[in-house]
Structure 1
Amino acid sequence: MEILLDIGNRRIKWAKGIDMPKLMSGKYTPAQQENLYHVINFATGDAASELERHFRAEPKPDSVWASCPGGSDAIPEIEKVCRVCWNIQPHFVAPADYESGIKNGYLDTRQLGVDRWLAMIAARHFIPDRPMLVIDAGTAITIDFINSTGLFEGGMIIPGLMTIIESLNQRAGLPSVDADTTGKEHITLQNRDTHSAIANGALHTAVSAIESAIAQYKKEFDNHLKIVITGGDAALINRISKYRITELPALPLIGLFLVTRDHDC
């Protein structure tokens, strides 16, 4: 059995490899999803201690595989937790020139975020042989294009909802807002309080950028283009987008599983 860790800027997702086929099938209820992978939010306190609490309840795995932004302060913490709980050194994956059906077209492979790479691998697994936009809506929103042969041709990075909100707080002195709650309560252009105006302004800004990218690609590929979205703000963005976007949860985590499977781990 392997343990899989997707370490982001705001949260950690982890799962057991044996549970991934069920997650990939999509045949589960929201309640069952909570048992297929676990989420630890950095905002709730000491994420490393919380992860250690989770891991101490699990038997020792054969291996631990992790994805983590390059240079992240979380790497030594994850190594320590795995060592304390199981005396295991985790394997940290990185983008490659070719992996699991995707050819990397980035000029410098080392610059590509591993979360983007893994999300594309997972998306390609679900929808092969189609030109595709893969949107990951997290702290940053990435919009990446894969052609029908599996070549990643590049993409865009724009601020995520909370990044926009935090920028307004830090640079313009506006209040800090929780986009997760404010935006979901009432999505409108006619906001009558500052918190709602900020949250909905951030949401519509992000959606406008995403739809602009989609429109340009649709000019070339029309109905052949497939669009998928993942990440913490995927559902909120999908709620108001005028385009039909397939929502696939936990794509980087699934991509990590596919990489370990291809390596016979």
Structure 2
Amino acid sequence: MLLLIDAGNTRVKWALAEAAVAGMGVWHAAGSVPHAEVAELAGLWRGMPIARVVIANVAGPRLREVLQAALDAAVGDISDNTRPPVEWFVSSAERAGLRNRYRQPAQLGCDRFAAAIGARALFPDRALIVAGCGTATTVDAVSADGEFVGGMILPGLSLMTASLAGNTAQLPQVSLQADAAHPFADHTDAAIVSGCLAAQAGAIERALAAYRTAQGTDVACILTGGAADLIAPQLSVAHERIDNLVLIGLQTVATSSC
């Protein structure tokens, strides 16, 4: 089986999946931990029937070291010649049927490329806007004929609210559960959340409108990431909410012949 790992800026998500396209997005086991608890994953993974590991890591070299140590500990009783191969997924000019049109393909965040691959696997032959709503929010365009066109990056919802609290004298750090249903809030906490949600939704809707105009056809909007549940109700456009899109992309990569 495949061990798929999405090492993001805040948390590490993982899933144990079939090495077959028919099982796309269906996990035999899965979990998510903050960076501080990554070492504990060794105990969870020990004894699992892992034949291959594919990892997307955007959290830097230190987390890579911790993940590698956890993997080593998990398969420590397996001889070297039977240890599962590990691929540290990186963006490239083309992978799993998706062509990367970044000027320097390797500079594209591997999580963005994996999410785009996953979205295309779920919605083949569709023009797509893929919005990843995490620590940063990314909004990327994928063409119907299989090109990662490019996209935008902006601070995620939590970063936006934290920036206001950290860089102004009188605005508080707010809970993202504050009531933001009304665009004209009558207290400061809700006003901050409402404004930041509007900024997130506005960026996604603007990208969708621009890409629809450029394509001259319908474009599907896909949302993923930890803040997607907060942002999705603010959108005035049709959209699909997909969990674990990076992991689905990694599974697509692992089951692809190219």
Aligned length: 249
Say which is worse superposed, 121-130 or 191-200, in terms of deviation. Answer: 191-200
Deviations 1:3-32 (A, max 9, x none): 11101111111010239855637xxxxxxx
Which of 137, 152, 155 aligns to 1:156? It is 152
Q: Aligned partners of 2:194 and 2:41: how far apart in 1?
A: 33
Q: What are the residue-to-residue correspondences of 1:16-95 with 2, within 5 Å?
A: 16-18=16-18, 24=25, 36-42=29-35, 46-56=36-46, 58-59=47-48, 61-69=50-58, 71-87=60-76, 90-95=86-91
Q: For residues 94-105 of structure 1, what are the structure 2 equivalents within 5 Å?
A: 94-105=90-101
1 CA distance for matches of 2:33 and 2:70? Answer: 14
Distance 1:237-1:19 versus aligned 2 partners, 3 A rule: farther
1:258 maps to which of 216, 234, 252: 252
Mapped to 2, the partners of 1:227 and 1:170 lie a distance apart of 32
Runs of 4+ in 1 over 3 A off after TM superposition: 19-23, 87-90, 220-223
Q: 1:23 to 1:198 in 2, by over 3 A?
A: farther
* Equivalent in the alignment of 2:205: 211
- Looking at structure 2, the residues matched to 175 and 206 of structure 1 have their Cα atoms a distance apart, in angstroms, of 20
**3-state SS of 1:73 partner:** helix
Provide the aligned C-alpha RMSD in A. Answer: 2.4
Higher helix proportion, which one?
Answer: 1
Deviation at 1:85, TM superposition (A): 1.9
1:133/1:226 contact within 8 Å kept: yes
Q: TM-score, normalised by structure 1?
A: 0.85
Partner amino acid, structure 2, of 1:38: G
Give the whole-Å Cα distance in 1 for the aligned partners of 2:257 and 2:145.
22
Partner of 2:242: 248
Query: Which runs of no fewer than 5 residues in structure 1 stay unpaired?
Result: 26-32
Secondary structure class of the residue paired with 1:244 = coil
Q: 1:150 to 1:23 in 2, by over 3 A?
A: closer
* 1:107–1:221 Cα change, 3 Å: closer
Distance 1:90 1:197 in 2: 46
Aligned twin of 1:231:
225
Give TM-score, length-normalised by structure 2: 0.87
Helix, strand or coil at the partner of 1:133: strand
Asked whether the equivalents of residues 127 and 144 of structure 2 are also in contact (C-alpha less than 8 Å), the reply is yes
**2:139 is matched with which residue: 140, 143, 146?**
143
CA distance in 1 between counterparts of 2:16 and 2:125 reads 29
